[in-house]
Structure 1
Amino acid sequence: MELSNKIYDIGKWLVLIFLPAFAVLISGLGDLYGWMNTSLIVTTINLVTVFLGSVLQLSSQNYHDENSSGGGGSFVKICS
């Protein structure tokens, strides 16, 4: 599967900026308003973030390996 650069950039923004900030927001609001099970929700968000970050790192590594060997293009490969 290959991702366009735009999709890769969106995924990277989600993993590096949005999802960690969202987890902190949920944690803070949950404590402030006494919501139930916020730690379960925050842990789930963080696990998804780590998973997506790992997949994006693999796709980035594949992209750089292809470009260093003369191949490549405007797509990022997720699985080789």
Structure 2
Amino acid sequence: MKINNHFYDVSKWIVLIFLPALAVLISGLGELYGWEGTFSMVTTVNLVNVFLGSLLQISSIKYYGNEKSEGGIIIGTKYSKPR
């Protein structure tokens, strides 16, 4: 299944920016206001984030085809090797 660029960009923003910021916000507010279950909420957000990030990485690898991925960085004909 191919996804369009807009969906990929929005998904990437959610995984890289929004969900980590949400986890920090929940953690900070939970500590400040003494909420119970804060650890469980933060852990849940982080687990969902790792799952979505894995799916995005799989999608990215499929998009670039037979190129190699080293250390999470896709290399090949379209990109030069990391320095």
Q: TM-score range by the shorter chain?
A: 0.7 to 0.9
Gaps of 5+ in 2: 68-75, 77-83
Asked if 1:39 is matched to 2:48, the reply is: no
Question: Where does structure 1 differ by over 3 angstroms across 4 or more consecutive aligned residues?
Answer: none
Q: Which runs of 5+ in 1 are unaligned?
A: 69-80
- 2:21 maps to which residue? 21
Deviation at 1:57, TM superposition (A): 0.3
Q: Does 1:61 align with 2:61?
A: yes
Number of equivalences: 68
Match of 1:11 in 2: 11
Tell me the CA shift for residue 12 of structure 1: 0.3
Q: CA RMSD in A?
A: 1.6
Percent of pairs with identical residues: 62
TM-score by length of 1: 0.80
Query: Within 1, Cα distance between the matches of 2:12 and 2:66?
Result: 20
